[in-house]
Amino acid sequence: MKSDPLPSRRQLLGGLAGVLVSGLLAGCSDSSDSTDDASPGSDAEPETDLDLREANVVEVAFEGDSDAYTFDVTLHHDDEGEDGFANWWQVERLDGTRLGRRELRHAHAQQPFTRSETIGVPDDVTCVVVRGHDRTHGYGGQLMLVNLESTATQSVNQGSDPRPIDETDCP
């Protein structure tokens, strides 16, 4: 009896990538509540290379039209007590001009967590930055670039100071 050859490394990695993408897409179908007491939008394992002392934007979903969009933003932050929690996320133009902000009033024990906000976006804006913030460290961690036309997203390590994003960085 002839045994089947072992799969190549490329086949194995391709199969694992397919399973990972399927899992991520399945997590995107969860609905989220816009109140601070909502349950987390994703129970997926967090990325291991994130600095959890920072307010990391790990997922952004949105719907709307050229006038206003409802953004569902998932943050991952090691919220510790009343002083060290993620206190807001905001949507900005690429040059850093704020379009809208979702305030977070308390620490969140379940991580990551998702909160929603409807934000007006001018017709001429096709790509936005979604950036998190925490009370202790300010800016830092991972932000997300969002192409409103193609719906593509791209994560970027923002560093400790907010910086404008170049249009060529938009996915």
pTM above the 0.85 mark?
no
Specify the range with the lowest mean pLDDT, choosing from 35-39, 85-89, 106-110. Answer: 35-39
Which of 23-32, 64-73, 111-120, 152-161 shows the lowest per-residue confidence on average (mean pLDDT)? 23-32
Please list the residues that pair with 13 across neighbouring strands. none
**In the chain, what percentage of residues exceed pLDDT 70?**
63
Q: What share of the chain is helix, strand, coil (3-state, %, to 5)?
A: 15, 35, 50
Query: What residue ranges do the domains of the chain occupy?
Result: 7-171
Q: Regarding beta strands 68-76 and 86-92, do their DSSP bridges make them parallel or antiparallel, or are they unpaired?
A: unpaired
Q: Tell me the one-letter amino acid at 26.
A: A
**Nearest Cα to Cα of residue 102 among 82, 80, 87:** 87
Confidence at residue 41, expressed as pLDDT on a 0 to 100 scale: 36
**pLDDT at res. 17:** 42
Structure confidence at residue 159 (pLDDT): 72
- pLDDT tens profile 18-70: 444 344 334 433 333 333 333 333 334 444 577 666 788 999 999 997 789 99
Q: Region 106-119: what's the mean pLDDT? A: 81
Q: Which CATH number fits domain 7-171: 2.40.40.20, 3.30.450.370, 3.30.300.20, 2.60.40.150?
A: 2.60.40.150
The structure tokens listed for 31 are 């609905």
